[in-house]
Amino acid sequence: MKKRLIYSCLLAGATLMAGCTKNFDKINTDPTKVTGALFNPNFLMAQAQIQFSNLGYGQLLYQSMWSQALASTYDYYGNGDKYVYRGSFDSYKANLWNNGYNASTLIDEMKNLIKGNATYNNLDNCGTIMRMMILERVTDTHGDVPFSQEGQAKAGIFTPVFDSQQSIYASMLDQLDKATAALDASQAGPTSDLFYGGNIAQWKKLGYSLMLRAAMRLTKVDATTAQKYAEKAYAGGTMSSIADNAKVKADYTNGNGNADAGSLLVTDDFREVRWGKTLFDYMNSTNDPRINAIGEISAGTGKKANETEVAGILPVGIQVGMPNGYDLGGGATDISKASNYPGTSPADPTVTNDAPAPVGNYSRPKFAVYDDRNRFNYLLTYGETELLLAEASTRNWNTGTAATHFSNALTADMQTVGQFGTTSVNAADIATYVAAHPLNPATAMQQINMEYYVETATVFNFIETWCNWRRSGYPVLTAVVYPNQFATSIPRRVPYPVTLPSTNGANYTAAVAKLSGGDTFTARVYWDK
C-alpha cells in the first residue's frame, strides 16, 4: 500500500469547520501545487477506505465494551466498560463523526473530479456505494446527521442541515439500488481499490449486501420497506463466499498500521483488555471451536509476563471471559469479587520486583491475530450477509431458505477467522459444529443474531456488533452498575461532538430537539425502538 496522497487538506469542508474566509481559495492557492486536473481521482478511493476502516480507540473505548464483547479493568476504558467519564472523553466521543466525514469528503472530492466523465462511471458508482457505507455508520452512531448537504463547502454550504435518519435511510436505499444496478463489469473499475482490486462483480455484490444490511436496520420501524429492499438485494446478488468480504489490510511499514493493534499494544491495554464474559460464556456453551483460534493467556505468570508482547498459550480447561464493570481498586468492584473469578496469575519469583496479574487468567485477544499491525480491518462479511438473509427468510420474505443461509454463515464465519492468516479453525471442526447447530425455527431469531454477535466480535467489527444488538435485542445484556455513571443503562447512541453548538448551532439545536431525552447516550435513533 502506498503512503497516503494528500490532495487537499480542506476536503472535509464545513461539516467539520466553523466557516471560511470569503476569498479563501484565491488567497491560499499555490500555483506550483497539483490541481484537480492533474490528480488521479482513483487515489482518493483507497485513501477513504483506509481512513474509514482504521478505528482503534474509536471503537475499542466504547462499542466493544458496551456490547460486552471485550472488558477491561484498566481505568482508561471506563467510558465503555463502566459508562463513566475517563481519558480524552470528548475527543473519543467525536471519533466516529470525524472519521466518517473525513472519509466521506474524500469520496465527495473524487466524485467532483470525475463528474461528467463517462470513462469513470464505475468509479463514480463505487464511490456512491462507499459513501453510503460511510454515512450509514455516522447516522447509526448519532441519529440525525448532515447527509444531503454533507461535503458541500465548495458550493457555499458551511452549516449543513441535519437530515432525519428516516430520510437518510430512504435515500441510502435508493442510491444503493441505482448505483449498484449501474455498475458495468465490461468497463474499467477503480484502479486504487483496497477492497477488491477493482473487481466490479464484487463491488456489485457489496452494493447489494449493503442494501440488505440497511434494509434490515428498519425491521422494527418500517417492515414493508425492509422487506422490499431485502428481497431486491437477494435478487440482485449478495456476497457469495468469503472472498467477497469487504476488508482493508493495514500497512505498518508505510505509515498505515492497524489502529486497533496499535491501541492494544499499549502496555496497560495489553495487560488488562480481555475478551468479555458475555461473549465467551456463549461460545463455551456452544462448544464453538473459534474460541481457541481467537483467545489465549500469557505464557508466563505475573505482571511482567502479562505486559510482555509475545504470543501466549491456551489455558488449561476452558477459556474464561472477563465480566464488565470491575476494576483493580480493592473495593466492592475489584475484579477479585467477580463471580467465578479464575484467580490471579501469581508473581514470577525469578523476576525482580514482579507482582501478581489479577486478570492474567482471563482470556485475551490472541496476540498473533489482533496485535498484528498489518492485519485486516473488516467492514462487512459474507457470513453477516447470510445471517441477515436467514433472518429475512425467517420473516417469510422471498430471500431463500433460512436454514441454508444459516449453515452457510456458520461455515463462512469460521473460515473468515482464517483470513487473518495467523490462526484458523480446523475444517473438520467446522463441519462438526455446523452439523451440530442446525437452525431451529422456534429459536431462529436468537440463533441468527447470537451468531451475528460472535462473528462481528471475532473480526473486531464492534460498531456493527453494537448496532445489531440495538436492532435485534441479542444478546440479552445486563447493564453495568458502577459509581458516577453518565448512563445507568447501556448506551444506545453517541452524543454529538461538543464543537457543533459553536460551529453549526442552529442545525445542531434543531436535531437535538427531536431526540427524546436530548443529546444523551440513552436517547434512541429512529430505527432503534
Smallest Cα–Cα separation from 138: which of 93, 100, 112, 86? 100
Predicted confidence at residue 90, as pLDDT, reads 87
Question: Distance of CA 480 to CAs 82, 83, 160, 447, 491, Å?
Answer: 6, 8, 37, 24, 11
Smallest Cα–Cα separation from 106: which of 35, 2, 15, 11? 11
Predicted confidence at residue 91, as pLDDT, reads 87
Decide: helix, strand or coil at residue 267: helix
- What DSSP character marks residue 31? T
Predicted confidence at residue 25, as pLDDT, reads 47
Predicted confidence at residue 88, as pLDDT, reads 79
**Each residue of 30-54: pLDDT tens digit?**
555 555 567 899 999 999 999 999 9
> What torsion do the CA atoms of 264, 269, 272, 274 make, to the nearest 10 degrees?
-20
Q: Which residues of the chain have pLDDT under 50?
A: 1-27
Q: E strands within 259-374?
A: 273-275, 295-296, 364-365
Q: Is the peptide bond before 475 cis (omega within 30 degrees of 0)?
A: yes
Contact call for residues 146 and 162 (beta carbons, < 8 A): yes
Helix, strand and coil in the chain, % to nearest 5: 50, 5, 45
Predicted confidence at residue 154, as pLDDT, reads 87
Predicted confidence at residue 17, as pLDDT, reads 37
Predicted confidence at residue 34, as pLDDT, reads 54
- What DSSP character marks residue 251? B
